[in-house]
């Protein structure tokens, strides 16, 4: 009887050990997390800068235009255009004429133009506030137009968030 009790006890200890082994070494299911799409980088080699965008902007387009700077002469003389420069807008891929979205406009100034603008030698638009600098390299200053999102189009909050993340890298 003692032998049977010893065998049963030994069997229970082995069974318990096997059960504990498998319970602690059980593979955990892989966590299912949704990762946002990888960032998208717009690179402009003509002006030597890049701009980091969220993955949701994959398929963006570029719209090129020009900004104009006006003399500070009196209204009687009329406003004369004294400066011009490139304006590049990064457009969200979901933008359509029927449902426009907020673009990311980037004004490009030479260092001299930027210095002249800071010294009030000319002005841009009717806003009393000038463009705000996003970055610069040894040839250009990249700036965001004042009140660019004044109309609050769809996506203006997202663009504001992108701008706050300091996405422009000049090289």
- What would the mean pLDDT of 67-77 be, rounded to a whole number? 78
Q: What is the pTM of this model?
A: 0.76
Q: Between these two residues, 139 and 11, which has the higher pLDDT value?
A: 139
In the chain, % of residues over pLDDT 70: 75
Tell the residue number behind the tokens 């705000």, with chain if given.
Answer: 132
Alpha-carbon span 169 to 39, nearest angstrom: 14
pLDDT at 130 > cutoff 90: yes
pLDDT at 22 > cutoff 70: no
What burial class does residue 37 get, using C-beta atoms within 10 Å of its C-beta: 0-12 exposed, 13-18 middle, 19+ buried? exposed
At 78, the pLDDT band (50, 70, 90 cuts) reads low
The pLDDT score that the predictor gives to residue 26 is: 53
């Amino acid at each position: 009887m003692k032998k049977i009790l010893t065998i049963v006890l030994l069997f229970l200890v082995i069974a318990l050990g096997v059960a504990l082994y498998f319970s602690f070494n059980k593979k955990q299911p892989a966590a299912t997390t949704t990762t946002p799409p990888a960032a998208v980088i717009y690179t402009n080699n003509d002006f030597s800068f890049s701009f980091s965008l969220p993955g949701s902007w994959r398929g963006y387009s570029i719209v090129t235009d020009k900004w104009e700077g006006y003399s500070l002469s009196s209204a009687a003389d009329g406003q004369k255009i004294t400066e011009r420069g490139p304006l590049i807008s990064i457009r969200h891929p979901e933008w359509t004429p029927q449902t426009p979205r907020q673009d990311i406009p980037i004004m490009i100034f030479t260092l001299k133009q930027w210095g002249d603008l800071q010294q009030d030698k000319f002005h841009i638009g009717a806003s009393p506030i000038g463009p705000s600098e996003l970055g610069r390299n040894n040839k250009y200053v990249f700036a965001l137009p004042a009140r660019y999102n004044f109309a609050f189009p769809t996506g203006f909050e997202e663009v504001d968030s992108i701008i706050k993340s300091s996405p422009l890298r000049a090289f």
